Structure 1
């Protein structure tokens, strides 16, 4: 047994990798933020092992419905063959692998996505967006994305900041807010941003006004003497957030604001700075349109760009002290089965009367889940980060990092609820055990170029395949053929959230279901023993970040009671606390004022504490 006070010095046996001396968040010297376009988590990674994907044991079942939200409503205007649509593999017919690279699905706008959300029933993706919104890729279509995400740490509860399109989400990424009423900003600073508006003035009163005039995080960095740079080519897809804010628009060409935020230094400059070890402390990367992954721009072309950035960072002079975060701005009209984690109705700075008079009182965000992964020596090794996060989390991470280095660079622009409830991402890292090895990632093919050397892979795709949307498989689906998941596992980091089958281990011991109780068993190498598989059920509701859960067995759904016996019905089960120790140390499992402890191959309840490693597992059995 390990006393809590000693846990910080007794974790090397939990993670047997080659390491140097224990470190801290202050060891980071460079943060690189790279955002791509318009993809959803299920759409890219729903089949991935060990994440909250198509094997979600906590999938939402709406009141009065016998079906989960995997079953999207289908009306007669779409098909008479069925009344539902399950997630469907875009290449299910086997001969669409190339055209689906340049296919387009639905709308990424406010109206279509709030329509699909349908007041949190989350069941109108086919009817109110498009049936293509419910389509997904597999590893064969995204080998580089899977390789990068699984080589380091993937987050499966990272959400878009706004249930809307590109500009609002990139505004939040760069500043922490969209100026929703009741937040830190005032209406005369640009009004609420929920659309891609770049026309001077306002679309509606205090809505979609341009330009914006609240303080961006880059300005906080500038004021604090922290070096930073936006790296972009002239072909930036109009995606550079500084260009939408008054201070940058009014900055003199010779000023640091302009030189760092508005110039087109190019991605080659980023690659050379990484190689030379001359990166600023903070970098934002804005990719070219054709490599952005925004439909119809191809995922495989974006994969090549991602690999260039990752390879540059990992082979550069400063990989040992660099953090690279790869994110997407919004879902692009692709669907996700997880109803967004959000604030209670009426929360200031978060809820608004729909300015388009379609949905009544709605929350602006956080919205649906996006792909997100962190590349660094402290996130190596195929982990899954489970905390609720959004684009403001990247700013909060920088606040914590710079504070660890003795700099107060706290922004006052993030709305209070979001500051309190969105992760700062720090728990995704294990600073005690950096791993400097580099995983083997499949090599991306170089994007096609025309005679002028311009990227044109999507244009070649569209010219080759006049039809890029496969036929929707109405009436042809079964859960076994549609809800596909790879077998495997990922070790969990961050505070616990729902949506996974979990195995808890301490050394060679695993919590194991017995005849009518939970005790100890021998841990399996691949964490694939079903008797050791459990499901957590968040208490009391999704509106709070709480570490209290009911726990059930994956074998028969029985719940664990306070004496570790198994009982029928959640109300008869106990309330457990699952406390993340942070820094990769594992979790303390508590019940009834005692801790679940592993001692000599047995499980007992006591005052001592065992650090349990948690594994998110996905197996067909």
Structure 2
């Protein structure tokens, strides 16, 4: 650990002076972090089971793929070892477009990744393949319910990141500002048939709101920016006069070297957008290892710079890149304005534009240090909402009127990922990241170099050597993460208060009790599963991982979900989770370890745990 001089304790979001937004390319949550301990990954106890009785782990397979099996389970891309340990760094999985990903979603069954995208879409890495990404996420706070904004490719998602919308009918924009809607990577002036995917876009971006409010901001990019700067797709930036703020800050921007120097000196603007070069973007076939080198450069620049004590670095990915994820997207009700549309490609029918599948996401800051998991529903709009809340705390009213209302009302503003009362200014030791390969002229060429070394980059799909369907959890690392944020499903949870953990002692005991907590939070008897009454609600029934019994009336344990008591779970940042019963009273544990029902809330620490027993 590298100690830092600790300034006076920060107490609110207003203590932030710099927000850095760094977006990478085309990876899905399960593909990167499904095996990580303490997250909603391959050990998900709430995994969706479809009407055919099969969990979504079992992706449909057909005779065109294999005659060995009717399904494909998640599989480790480097199971064969050997040259694949390096070759898969430059492999491609599937297609990231609107059509193929809606086809994989299959109307919400989420079971056609192998047949309607590719069987490689269901493959995943683990810690040894992407150690830098794991270490950054482990050292600070990872979000495991962060979704792409659009079930589509790069441009629509980055447009949302920069503006809050893609102009689905019913959005705040007019049709003339960019067509109905923008769901593909079209950058040819004009529209596609039926007046959608129009280019350029012309509604107001968040950067323009910041400019109008006198908030400093800048794009950071080099000559090779992989055409990933979303501001460049808006007409007002394309037409901005040389030397104007939109041209200087948004089109030309500053270099990555400028970012490193300003981070070192503590002179970054209030808001920084980082756009990396193609070879370092992690977009297949560009290597995760090369992207890790860039990530570490940026993390080191921020954490070792003069302004770290007042900086939040948000690292996200724009979309899944054709890699699959097992969590069916949280989305709006049918008919929601600005969200639902008739598929202009005439493939998915009447459907929602997003939010889509989960993406890797983590936040580096003193207020997110410590290996937490943030559990709230979020998407690219959440980064806009976070900045709005931050600027409001600093006395600036900077609220975009371009965001779709449902997103504003239902996507997390990320505030609960932070504990502003208890910052931790220590800096972890991150693993080294190999320097990306370059040509003799100093040009990054990692993907072509990798492909020159390995004629085959896609391993054989292991149809005939899969684990049993109920053993998918064996892919997960053992361990835990302390939880932050409004409660969502998908994890085994240990609730602890005053050194005790809520416990199911097993039959014949008829009530749950409390027993001494352990540092590893690993006791099966202390593990619980929550079952949401509504996807985005705070009401849950709670069952025991030990024997499946549910919490019933008072402190009783019953054998069926029928009759289970409904708990409202309240989260308070810096404190934890209060378990509120139907009668308005709260579960607590007294100093002797006895479970009590009290009138005032007690806040439990909650740990998302992943263990094989």
> TM-score scaled to structure 1, two decimals?
0.95
Structure 2 gap ranges (5+) = 1-5
Partner in structure 2 of residue 570 of structure 1: 561
- Indicate the RMSD between aligned Cα atoms, in angstroms: 1.1
Q: What is the DSSP-based 3-state SS (H/G/I as helix, E as strand, rest coil) of the residue aligned with 2:107? A: coil
Question: 1-side partners of 2:88 and 2:559: how far apart?
Answer: 46
1:530 matched to 2:524? The reply is yes
Partner in structure 1 of residue 3 of structure 2: none
Q: What is the DSSP-based 3-state SS (H/G/I as helix, E as strand, rest coil) of the residue aligned with 1:150? A: helix
Question: 1-side partners of 2:589 and 2:173: how far apart?
Answer: 51
Question: 2-side partners of 1:562 and 1:245: how far apart?
Answer: 57
Contact 1:87 1:482 (C-alpha < 8 Å) held by counterparts: no
Question: 1-side partners of 2:473 and 2:486: how far apart?
Answer: 30
1:335 matched to 2:324? The reply is yes
Map Cα deviations across residues 95-148 of structure 1 (whole Å, 9 max, x no partner): 210000000000000000000000000000000000000000000000000000
Partner in structure 1 of residue 62 of structure 2: 75
Partner in structure 2 of residue 516 of structure 1: 510
Query: Any runs of at least 4 consecutive aligned residues in structure 1 with deviations exceeding 6 A, and if so which?
Result: none
Contact 1:378 1:434 (C-alpha < 8 Å) held by counterparts: yes
Partner in structure 2 of residue 13 of structure 1: none
Partner in structure 2 of residue 614 of structure 1: 606
Partner in structure 1 of residue 301 of structure 2: 312
Contact 2:191 2:199 (C-alpha < 8 Å) held by counterparts: yes
Contact 1:387 1:494 (C-alpha < 8 Å) held by counterparts: yes
1:105 matched to 2:96? The reply is no
1:431 matched to 2:425? The reply is no
Q: What is the DSSP-based 3-state SS (H/G/I as helix, E as strand, rest coil) of the residue aligned with 1:569? A: coil
The alpha carbon displacement at 1:359 in A equals 1.2
Contact 1:229 1:283 (C-alpha < 8 Å) held by counterparts: yes
Question: 2-side partners of 1:66 and 1:19: how far apart?
Answer: 56
Partner in structure 1 of residue 167 of structure 2: 179
Question: 2-side partners of 1:440 and 1:488: how far apart?
Answer: 20
Q: What is the DSSP-based 3-state SS (H/G/I as helix, E as strand, rest coil) of the residue aligned with 2:142? A: strand
Partner in structure 2 of residue 10 of structure 1: none
Instruction: Give aligned pairs, total.
Output: 599
Question: 1-side partners of 2:602 and 2:253: how far apart?
Answer: 53
Partner in structure 2 of residue 505 of structure 1: 496
The alpha carbon displacement at 1:508 in A equals 0.6
Partner in structure 1 of residue 576 of structure 2: 586
Map Cα deviations across residues 327-347 of structure 1 (whole Å, 9 max, x no partner): 000000000000000001111
Contact 2:43 2:473 (C-alpha < 8 Å) held by counterparts: no
> TM-score scaled to structure 2, two decimals?
0.97
Question: 2-side partners of 1:312 and 1:264: how far apart?
Answer: 18
Partner in structure 2 of residue 3 of structure 1: none
The alpha carbon displacement at 1:93 in A equals 1.1
Structure 1 gap ranges (5+) = 1-17
User: Aligned match of 2:44 in 25, 40, 56?
Assistant: 56
Q: What is the DSSP-based 3-state SS (H/G/I as helix, E as strand, rest coil) of the residue aligned with 2:218? A: strand
Question: 2-side partners of 1:609 and 1:416: how far apart?
Answer: 32
The alpha carbon displacement at 1:475 in A equals 2.2
The alpha carbon displacement at 1:525 in A equals 0.8
Map Cα deviations across residues 551-598 of structure 1 (whole Å, 9 max, x no partner): 00001111101212111221221100110012x210111112110011
Pairing 1:379-528 to 2, within 5 Å after superposition: 379-479=368-468, 480=471, 483-514=474-505, 515-528=509-522
